Amino acid sequence: MDCTNIWKIDEKKIEKRENELHESIFTIGNGFLGIRGNFIEGYSEDFPHKRGTFINGFYEVFGIKYGEWAYGYPEEKEIMINNVDSNNIELTVDDEKIKVGKTKILEHKRTLNMREGYLERETTYETSKGKRFRLRVLKIVSFIKKNLCIYKISIKMLHGSAEINLKTGLQLKNNDFEKTNDPRVENGNSAEILLLEKQKVADKSLTQLYKTKNSDLSIVVKEKVECSGLEFENGNHVATFFLNEGQEKSVEKKTGYYFFPLEEKTDLVKYSEESFEKTAELNFEEIKKMQRNYLKNFWENSSIKIEGDPETSQGLNFNLFNLLQYVGKNGKTNISAKGLSGEGYSGHYFWDTEIYMFPFFLYTNPKIARELLKFRYNILPQARKRARELAFTKGALFPWRTISGRESSAYYPAGTAQFHINADICHALKKYVESTEDYDFLREYGAEMLFEAARIWEEMSSKDPLRNDKYCINCVTGPDEYTALINNNYYTNLMAKEHLKYAAYTSRWLENNYKDDYIKIIKKIKLSKTEVDEWQKISENIYLPEVGENGITPQDDSFLHKEKWDLENTPKDKFPLLLHYHPLVIYRYQVCKQADVVLAQFLHGDKFSLKQKKRDFHYYNSITTHDSSLSKSIFSIVGNEVGEKKLSYEYFFENVRTDLDDKHSNSKWGIHTASMGGSWLCVVFGFAGMRTYEDELSFNPDIPDRWKSFSFMINYKNNILNIIINKETTTYELIKGDKIKFKHVNKKVMLDKEKRSLILKNE
């Protein structure tokens, strides 16, 4: 990828071996709708491609087949559907069908404009008869009109004259995504899933109502095409015209997708008619202007400006733009591991959201962070049901993999056993309330979610007489998926400890400050004071694996007793390990897929000494494969903190360009949203040293050697703070707000109405 323009991703040649990857990279979306970067005119049969149109929260249900079934296994799974395709034209020039991979291409350029939010491409073709023409396509998936995708297609004859036939419509076809044994990939075929219920044709527009076979979800897709001489034939819009040399013809196509997630009871057809009628009145330039204004506001609050490193700047802009493109903004959807760019991980939401992506939204766009938490609240009924399936008498267990709220993880050792997701979600809730002081959310939604999730730890933990009656949590899996079903995972126990502590504190705080609301909550979930006291007791007495003679924090009770995996002599073609070794082989060794103890030391760094972090960093780094894209960002942050600046930057740079440079060789299945969130964490929490321990904001800047300066803004306690860091000093500017207190390298400082900026030395 060309890095000369940090706000654009340019493709100057169509290459067969990179096409599927580039389809992921050139996906455009808005959090509701995502359309892969497929060439609209289609491909020859032998040209690799993966067409894809995805709706956040729209899925089909499939039965799960087990060789051996056991009680409590999920019997069904949800898979995001590759949906109705509007990104298509059939283009014929003098009876010759134009296809990528078949028709000769003389020139090509495709650009993703991240500052303004549209995709543009120009391709010059030459037919077998020597006719040359330029195909230009502009495409926007609107952030303002969330249901809308709009295309502006133009054809200009450059040499010779020709009769042009253009046909476009709404297509359901067999899935282009090949079958694979990779457990990270799974797909659902729209041609076999979506059933056409109704179709209506009127005034150059087409309306189709589809329903899924099993999940009973409905979607309305509407299309309107504006072009002179347009006809409607066999479900398609068709235009035939003659162009002389130098002449150009334009077509404007608008497609609306309408779907209500989480069973919202509204007349979908009526709503789509009213909504699309208003939207269709807007032309491409008007939509483009709205898109530009929306993104102007986003970048003002969210961009990270770096002087001296264009590759990193481009990577960060790409990552943050994609997070915005794929995050649900309605409280009823979330952000999946691959966003809306591909079928990897079946479109499921994971803990990735709360730990890796949520902080970006919390400190730059807290309204979106609120909606992400509200999604978790909205799936509480399913989480309660799942808790009963796993024999918990009360409380709620959030699903490891889900779309609608039901558990879709068929491999429980690396899925359901990761109970830490309850604490991860409540960790995000705690940070949200501290940062925004949105106590209304806590009263209306957060507290109930917090208390119900805490009940799981109460039942899971038990006193161990061999450990001085400390509370232990057994048979769980921590973040490291190469170590499963172990006792006292350090990360899990520490997160549970903090979760219970916060739940007990919040119970008392609500009782003292919002008694009526508190009574309402405890009546609803039948919460007793005895339970709250028990949470406090467990929190104070939970067992954390103790540092032994080797000075290392144990990942769990048995981890340090295992033989180390010989990573140095493992062939490179055997990575990632999960694709080449049986889980039982991997589980027998000291080998980590990703950050586990090191992640605990990032999230709760105030609980560890710097010396301990340094010892643990080096130890765990030596046995971690980083097979997960979630790993290197955390090692970068902690590595920078313990003085490993060179390694920290290496990990960060690989992380920030995970998809643009296809670091994991699987971005063709979709981009890595958690890794994208991790790149923001690396800059803000890593190089700027930002922390929010015990509701206290602090910074400890340490600029990378190759950067001259960098700056970013955060939103904290209704203040917007601009931070500019160079080699010698850090400048803090209070852009919006009345007063903010924080620490700079352990020095307490304050900005307010009288003193809105200050410059401090980086010590």
How far, in Å, CA of 124 to CA of 43, rounded?
15
389 is a catalytic site residue:
no
Q: What element of type H or E holds 638?
A: helix 631-641
Which backbone phi and psi does 476 adopt, to 5 degrees?
Answer: -130, 170
Question: Which of the residues 78, 434, 481, 498 is marked catalytic?
Answer: 481
For 399, residues 6+ apart whose C-beta sits below 8 A from its C-beta are 379, 382, 383, 386, 405, 406, 407, 408, 409, 421
Mutual angle of helices 366-378 and 420-436, in 10-degree steps: 140
Long-range contacts of the stretch 189-196 (C-beta < 8 A, 24+): 189/82, 190/81, 190/82, 190/83, 190/84, 190/85, 193/60, 193/81, 194/81, 194/83, 194/84, 194/219, 196/172
How far, in Å, CA of 62 to CA of 79, rounded?
8
How far, in Å, CA of 206 to CA of 237, rounded?
9
Query: How many CA atoms, within 13 angstroms, populate the side-chain half-sphere of residue 544?
Result: 17
How far, in Å, CA of 186 to CA of 205, rounded?
34
Note the residue count of the chain: 763
Long-range contacts of the stretch 128-131 (C-beta < 8 A, 24+): 128/96, 128/104, 129/94, 129/96, 129/160, 130/159, 130/160, 131/93, 131/94, 131/157, 131/159, 131/160, 131/161, 131/162
The closest of 692, 671, 714, 679 to 300, measured between CA atoms, is 714
- Class of residue 446 by CB neighbours under 10 A (exposed 0-12, middle 13-18, buried 19+): buried
Number of CB atoms found within 10 A of residue 528's CB = 9
What residues pair up with 750 in beta bridges, in sequence order? 741
- Class of residue 467 by CB neighbours under 10 A (exposed 0-12, middle 13-18, buried 19+): middle
Mutual angle of helices 447-460 and 490-513, in 10-degree steps: 130
User: Which amino acid belongs to residue 736?
Assistant: K
How far, in Å, CA of 460 to CA of 473, rounded?
6
Which tokens hold the place of 720? 């917007």
SS3 658: coil
Q: Let me know: does 478 contact 420? Beta carbons within 8 Å.
A: yes
How far, in Å, CA of 375 to CA of 59, rounded?
16
Mutual angle of helices 366-378 and 380-389, in 10-degree steps: 40
Q: Let me know: does 63 contact 219? Beta carbons within 8 Å.
A: no
Radius of gyration of the chain (CA): 27
User: Which amino acid belongs to residue 762?
Assistant: N
DSSP string, 351-370: THIIIIIHHHHHHH-HHHHH
Q: Let me know: does 219 contact 58? Beta carbons within 8 Å.
A: yes
Instruction: Report the Cα–Cα distance between both ends of the chain, in Å, rounded.
Output: 37
How far, in Å, CA of 535 to CA of 549, rounded?
32
How far, in Å, CA of 426 to CA of 436, rounded?
15
How far, in Å, CA of 722 to CA of 688, rounded?
12
Residue corresponding to tokens 């494969």: 625
How far, in Å, CA of 401 to CA of 30, rounded?
22
How far, in Å, CA of 426 to CA of 451, rounded?
9
Q: Which residues are catalytic?
A: 481
